[in-house]
Amino acid sequence: MSKTDEIIAKYQTLYHHYSSHAHTQRTLANRWSWARVFIFVFFVGISIYLYLFSYIFGNISLGIGVILFALSIKKHASVLEKLHILENLVFINQQELRVLEGDFSQGKKGENYIEPDHFFANDLDLFGEKSFFQFANRCVTHTGETILADNLKNPLFSIQNIQEKQNAIKILEKLLDFRQKFQAKGKLYIEKENDFSHFKKWLDIPKTLLPKKYVPFILWFNPTISVILLILWNLSYIPFGVVGLWGIVNMGLVFTQLATIRERTDSIDNLKKFLKKHIHLFEVSSEYVDILKDDKNISHTNLTSFVETINDFKGKKIIEKLSTFADYSDNGVSLFGLIFNATFLWNWQILYRLEQHLSIYQNKILILFEELQKIDVLHTWANLAYNNPDSYTFPTISNKDFVLIGENVAHPLLPPKERIGNPVFFDNAGQLSVITGANMAGKSTYLRSVTLNLLLAMQGSVVCAKKFEFTPIMIYTSMRTKDSLASRESFFYAEIKRLKQLLDRLAENQKIFVVLDEILKGTNSADQHSGAKALLTQLVKKNAVGLIATHDLRLGEWAKNYPQHFKNQCFEIHINENHLQFTYQLQNGINQNLNATFLLKQMGIVEVEMNEKNNL
């Protein structure tokens, strides 16, 4: 059994395990649902019956019923939450099995991260339908997704940073249980796009009660007087008007802070799910932080700040207090708010304690949330490594001027059974590979395979190759240039602009891995050939390195004259009787066989014998 087969077996086992537990938990949830109904009906009925004989016993029965009903609601909510976590775990393992079969259609596409003019993102299909983001993303926080997308568009260039991230991924790769529980709990609540930015603004709302030194005295004195007055009224020593007048005084104090209270409560009310999600993520992280802390390689990773932050928060219920404020805060106009504000200055009590809490922990809370979002991103890369033990490998980082050497390099999005790997070899800057080949022979796929794996390597990730050694370098591609009616740009002009940007960057002595697919394809063949030669000359002068795919065989012949800068490689096809045979294997030399006329004849578009094609 291969390692991949073992991974599949593991996911299948987990799927059945969590499905069984979910079924049991669903039964329990149904029982508690009916228990709530029974408690409500029973105690309402028994209380009505007791009221016929005794007002006191009727109240006692009703009070017991209210307490038990409230407890049953809380228990049912707890059981439902566990059920949803189990259902999420079932879904997670089911999805991983689908992805390993080549179906990742249910993943988020990330269309909102598309940048039409990005250096390489569109050419490499990083976002959108059937994209790498849809294939790999396992983030459960919106900020985590945004960080992942930003990382894909802006790879690391520091060898130390790449190595630290690699080491972190290697540690998290082994913690499948941690990663899946993190995902399952993160999926309990749907996070809105701007929740984190709104939360940061909420934290920055100016503190109004805390700076005033008399507030602690009022928060003690006024409720005490309220209790005394209520006792005196109940004993008939004072009229209710005195109690009411004191309540009006308290409400006046509350209304002096009503604007701040409303700003706090309205904002936090919209952030309840955001807070609860991060509470769950913190809880599951706390369960596994000791395992991370005990790993001897932790000091060589970027996980140390995560471990330190989780340890610092462990057992303090710092975020939970924010959630409690969200649950119990009130703007002072409901019945609950009017009574408790008039008696105990309820909103002042809540607001003051909140401001005390934030004065101590505000910055730490932000750090905690950021660390949870960073680990969320790392889980995506750890999951990619875990799912592909046979066909992926961690690359070797070179500190040489430029190295890109790989064996069996293949495209990550192709199903394993369909992948055909190929080598790549660059041992210095200033080297360009001119790749020729017929239509559909594999040129563009090869370009994307090499470039996407180079990008993954600079993420600290595993790559789809048997062996991969690289030097971090900027990537610039021109493979899928589009015209624009809105800006009145032709296809050809859009490509020229993109090539000009490339040459400008090379003129600034930036090291760039250049990937070009069919240079200047928007003009006639003669103009295309001369223009392509001129461009390649400029690339050589500027010491560029990269891959150039072309149908122009003359370009390959010209490149033969400069072996120190160019190497000719090709994807050959074979025409056997009435069949085309694609090997998808990279070879040295210039492509010899073409397939366009053959396909036209096969489809009945032209009637011409293959041996007459040169006479057309």
Of the candidates 508, 165, 200, the one whose C-alpha atom is nearest the C-alpha of residue 368 is 200
In a domain, 136, yes or no: no
Same domain, 405 and 282: no
In a domain, 552, yes or no: yes
In a domain, 162, yes or no: no
Mean pLDDT of 68-94: 95
In a domain, 176, yes or no: no
Q: Looking at 355, 387, 419, which one is the last position of a domain?
A: 387
Same domain, 611 and 485: yes
Alpha-carbon distance of 397 to 347, in angstroms, equals 58
Confidence of residue 486 (pLDDT cuts 50, 70, 90): very low
Total domain count for the chain?
3
* pLDDT score at 487: 43
pLDDT single digits (tens) 413-464: 998 888 999 999 999 888 999 998 877 888 999 999 999 999 999 999 999 9
Same domain, 361 and 430: no
Neighbours of 501 (CB within 10 A): 14
Alpha-carbon distance of 182 to 188, in angstroms, equals 10
pLDDT single digits (tens) 234-270: 888 899 899 899 999 988 888 888 788 777 777 777 7
Confidence of residue 610 (pLDDT cuts 50, 70, 90): very low
Q: Is the dihedral of CA 46, 49, 55, 56 positive or negative?
A: negative
Same domain, 307 and 404: no
Same domain, 349 and 450: no
pLDDT single digits (tens) 514-566: 999 888 765 666 777 888 888 888 898 888 999 999 888 888 887 778 888 89
Same domain, 409 and 543: yes
Alpha-carbon distance of 115 to 121, in angstroms, equals 7
Confidence of residue 347 (pLDDT cuts 50, 70, 90): confident
In a domain, 119, yes or no: no
| Residues 238-267: b if buried by 16+ CB within 10 A, e if exposed | eeeeebeebbeebbeebeebeebbeebbeb
In a domain, 519, yes or no: yes
Same domain, 520 and 493: yes
Q: Is the dihedral of CA 602, 608, 610, 613 positive or negative?
A: negative
Q: How many residues are present in the chain?
A: 616
Task: Output the CA torsion 404→407→413→415 (10° steps).
Answer: 180
Alpha-carbon distance of 218 to 469, in angstroms, equals 69
* pLDDT score at 594: 59
* pLDDT score at 322: 84
Structure tokens at 529: 């050939």
Q: What is the C-alpha radius of gyration for the chain, rounded to an integer number of angstroms? A: 33
Mean pLDDT of 96-114: 94
Question: Residue 415 — left, alpha, or beta (φ > 0 → left; ψ -120 to 50 → alpha)?
Answer: beta
Alpha-carbon distance of 121 to 462, in angstroms, equals 19
DSSP code, position 192: P
Q: Which residues contact 558 (CB under 8 A, 6 or more apart)?
A: 533
Q: Is the dihedral of CA 357, 361, 366, 371 positive or negative?
A: negative
Phi, psi torsion values for 613, nearest 5 degrees: -60, -30
pLDDT single digits (tens) 135-184: 999 999 999 999 999 999 999 999 999 999 999 999 999 999 999 999 99
Alpha-carbon distance of 31 to 35, in angstroms, equals 6
Same domain, 408 and 483: yes
DSSP code, position 489: B
Same domain, 383 and 428: no
Q: How is the beta sheet containing 467-470 ordered, strand by strand?
A: 396-397, 467-470, 404-409, 422-426
Alpha-carbon distance of 338 to 336, in angstroms, equals 6
Same domain, 275 and 313: yes
Phi, psi torsion values for 28, nearest 5 degrees: -65, -40
In a domain, 108, yes or no: no
In a domain, 74, yes or no: yes
Q: Looking at 49, 83, 101, which one is the last position of a domain?
A: 101
Neighbours of 221 (CB within 10 A): 12
Same domain, 188 and 271: yes
Structure tokens at 386: 């875990």
* pLDDT score at 597: 53
DSSP code, position 509: T
Mean pLDDT of 345-369: 89
The range of the structural domain enclosing residue 227 comes to 184-387
Same domain, 74 and 223: no
Assess contact for 472 and 511: CB atoms under 8 A.
no
Structure tokens at 578: 């009435």
Phi, psi torsion values for 583, nearest 5 degrees: -95, -25
Q: Looking at 357, 387, 417, which one is the last position of a domain?
A: 387
Of the listed ranges 351-360, 439-448, 575-584, the least confidently predicted one is 575-584
